[in-house]
């Protein structure tokens, strides 16, 4: 029996804007195609979701809302979304940049565990991409090595692109063997191997859920193993909720890791979201310290995850400062000596600010007026006598002139 031809291959969509050339991936809820955009003379990837999803208004609404938000993400390590919408048959689609390379799962499976100098910069860049998404209110929900694509851009190798931001609830799934789909309050997908404890329990997800998943991914990237030993997906879910992960130094016999690495990973793998790093930017900061070979993580005082603070100016009221604040210096963090590799792109040493010295307009103090000394009585009499003598002399001169 001949295999049925995919109806989209060879077809023009959106009034000829895109020509579907071949299928490059598929899942239970749709497929991804390589397509030509003649007007721009470029290749794109077109993700087309199954038409049966058009009947689920909740999914369609979520898809449109999150696709719109995703299209505004600009971080270079986030896959670019060019266009999204609905085809004539009701299928939802997303047009995004076409990437050439391999995903992180394929890379680790074919090449084995990565050394720190290679693995850490990849995950640090992913942290920065996630930070932008989190600030836009987008939680990925399905971070896994398959959704981190290693591309080649501008001569740069291992340039990661994070795929499927916030679309895990409606997009097709590229499940690894044994993965399952969980359903609660609609459709909630997740890959058990990389699922946070709160996601496994069907709780509301925050950015901390993505941080946990990133930590599991990094663990696997560096060891080619997961932090838990499980025989099936349900056991993975149970272990994420109840068990402590195996220390990374015990996972690969004969392979040593910096102690700080496990300190950072153990915090990111905490069961409670509030016990993890507060943001993806903070996790990137901590991993950078590991990459630089520092003995501990320097204090995190800012970054993309912190609110933008206004500098004092003439138009912004400045709170009064105590005498201690007026003399406190700003201490710059010293650059780490030595290290295990060059800092990743976008890394800048953090400054440890001391108490703020208020600037702004200063008013010049008015000069003090010294009270004048009162004249003595003798001085006053002398002045009066002098005026009388001068007056008498002038009167005599006038009379002489008239006579």
CB within 8 Å of 94: residues ≥ 6 apart: 46, 47, 67, 81, 83, 84, 167, 171
Give the Cα separation of 295 and 261 in Å (integer): 10
142 belongs to the catalytic site: yes
Max Cα–Cα distance, the chain, nearest Å: 153
Give the Cα separation of 95 and 82 in Å (integer): 5
Cross-sheet strand order for the sheet of 101-103: 101-103, 148-153, 156-162
Closest listed residue to residue 289, CA positions, set 300, 278, 297, 277: 297
Phi, psi of 202 (to 5 degrees): 75, 25
Task: List alpha helices for 269-376, DSSP H.
Answer: 280-291, 323-327
Contact 60, 92 (CB under 8 A): yes
User: Measured in whole angstroms, how far is the alpha carbon of residue 140 from the centre of its chain?
Assistant: 12
Among candidate residues 6, 12, 58, 142, the one labeled active-site is 142
Q: Which residues share a beta bridge with 23?
A: 33
The set of catalytic residues is 142
């Amino acid at each position: 029996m001949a295999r049925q031809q995919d109806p989209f291959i060879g077809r023009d969509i959106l009034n000829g804007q895109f020509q579907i050339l071949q299928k490059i991936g598929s899942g239970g809820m749709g497929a991804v195609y390589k397509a030509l955009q003649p007007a721009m003379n470029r290749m794109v990837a077109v993700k087309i979701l199954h038409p049966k999803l058009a009947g689920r208004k909740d999914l369609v609404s979520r898809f449109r809302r999150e696709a719109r938000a995703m299209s505004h993400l600009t971080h270079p390590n986030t896959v670019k979304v060019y266009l999204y919408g609905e085809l004539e048959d009701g299928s939802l689609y997303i047009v995004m940049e076409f990437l050439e390379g391999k995903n992180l799962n394929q890379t680790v499976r074919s090449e084995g565990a990565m050394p720190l100098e290679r693995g850490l910069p990849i995950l640090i860049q992913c942290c920065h991409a996630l930070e932008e998404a989190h600030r836009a209110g987008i939680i990925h929900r399905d971070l896994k090595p398959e959704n981190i694509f290693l591309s080649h851009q501008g001569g740069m190798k291992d340039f990661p692109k994070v795929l499927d931001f916030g679309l895990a609830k409606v997009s097709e799934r590229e499940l690894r063997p044994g993965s399952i789909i969980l359903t609660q309050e609609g459709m909630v997908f997740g890959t058990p191997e990389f699922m946070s404890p709160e996601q496994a329990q069907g709780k509301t997800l925050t950015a901390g859920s993505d941080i946990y998943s990133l930590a599991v991914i990094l663990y696997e990237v560096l060891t080619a193993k997961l932090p838990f030993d499980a025989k099936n997906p349900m056991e993975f879910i149970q272990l994420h909720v109840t068990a402590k992960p195996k220390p990374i130094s015990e996972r690969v016999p004969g392979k040593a890791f910096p102690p700080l690495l496990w300190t950072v990973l153990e915090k990111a793998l905490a069961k409670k979201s509030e016990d993890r790093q507060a943001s993806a930017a903070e996790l990137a900061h901590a991993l950078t310290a590991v990459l630089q070979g520092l003995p501990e993580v320097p204090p995190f005082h800012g970054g993309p995850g912190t609110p933008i603070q206004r500098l004092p100016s003439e138009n912004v009221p400045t709170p009064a400062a105590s005498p201690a604040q007026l003399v406190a210096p700003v201490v710059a963090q010293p650059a780490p000596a030595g290290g295990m590799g060059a800092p990743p792109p976008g890394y800048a040493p953090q400054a440890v600010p001391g108490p703020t010295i208020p600037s702004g307009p200063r008013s010049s103090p008015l000069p003090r007026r010294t009270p004048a000394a009162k004249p003595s009585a003798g001085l006053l009499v002398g002045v009066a006598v002098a005026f009388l003598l001068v007056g008498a002399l002038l009167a005599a001169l006038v009379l002489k002139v008239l006579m």
